[in-house]
Copies of this chain bind each other. A is one copy, B any other.
Amino acid sequence: MLNKTRGRPRGNPDTRARIAKVARELFLKHGYPGTTVRAVAAAAGVDSALISYHFGSKQGLFSQSLNLLCVDPTALDQALRGDQAGLADRLLDSVTDLWDATVPAENQMAVQDDDTMRALRDYLDGELRLRIAEFLDGPDATQRATAAVGVLGGLIFTRYLNPIRSIGGLSPADVRRVFGPALRAALHGRPRRA
């Protein structure tokens, strides 16, 4: 396509990094299905086969270029160390801190990628829920932790994955204000008996 003389190029240009960079931008701008491997290749000035070579597959390109986390692990560690009263706010902050940085507001990404969904699911249901349950430690701790990940999942979903205006438009402080009561109730409220 682009007659760039076959074979290895001069110098050692980090083509892989360049591809990852433009891929990241395109994925955030157009979403997963809306971004074609060929478009990424063209934007990086490279043959599309090179992407399979470096990243294995389109899914590989996606996860390796975007590497999304749900919550910054160190932020979570800190959130799970302070007093119980401020826990909700700290959790909310650790979500907005990470996602607001990686998913800029104007790039409304409708993430539609299997691997990402799976990763998010596993993280919410596994790590996050268990850590919260352990921190809460009281009667109904696991049930309350489940409620909490439900609320946090709702925040992630309605603000980043399928952003609805009235929530996507909030500032991080607003998020604390709006989601605070619900999350506090989920964490500390008493689920009614069966």
Contacts and interface: CB of A to CB of B under 8 A. Distances in A.
Interface of A: 31, 33, 110, 112-114, 117, 120-121, 124-125, 129, 142-143, 146-147, 149-155, 157-158, 161-167, 173, 176-186, 189-192, 194
A38 to B, nearest CB: 18
Copies of the polypeptide in the assembly: 2
B179 A194 contact: no
A192 B180 contact: yes
Contacts of A143: 177-178
A152 B151 CA distance: 8
A129 B166 contact: yes
Most buried by B among A142, A146, A150, A176: A150
Nearest to A148: B182
B146 A150 contact: no
B147 A182 contact: yes
A182 B177 contact: no
B177 A186 contact: no
- List 8 A-B pairs, minimum CB-CB distance, nearest first: A154-B154, A181-B189, A185-B185, A125-B164, A157-B157, A182-B186, A181-B185, A112-B112
A153 B157 contact: yes
A80 to B, nearest CB: 18
Given A178-B146, A182-B147, A191-B181, A158 B153 contact: yes
Nearest to A189: B181
B117 A146 contact: no
A178 B150 contact: yes
B191 A178 contact: yes
Given A129-B166, A173-B194, A150 B124 contact: no
A183 B155 CA distance: 13
16 contacts: A33-B112, A112-B113, A121-B164, A147-B178, A147-B179, A149-B164, A150-B167, A150-B179, A153-B154, A153-B164, A154-B154, A154-B158, A181-B189, A181-B190, A182-B182, A182-B185
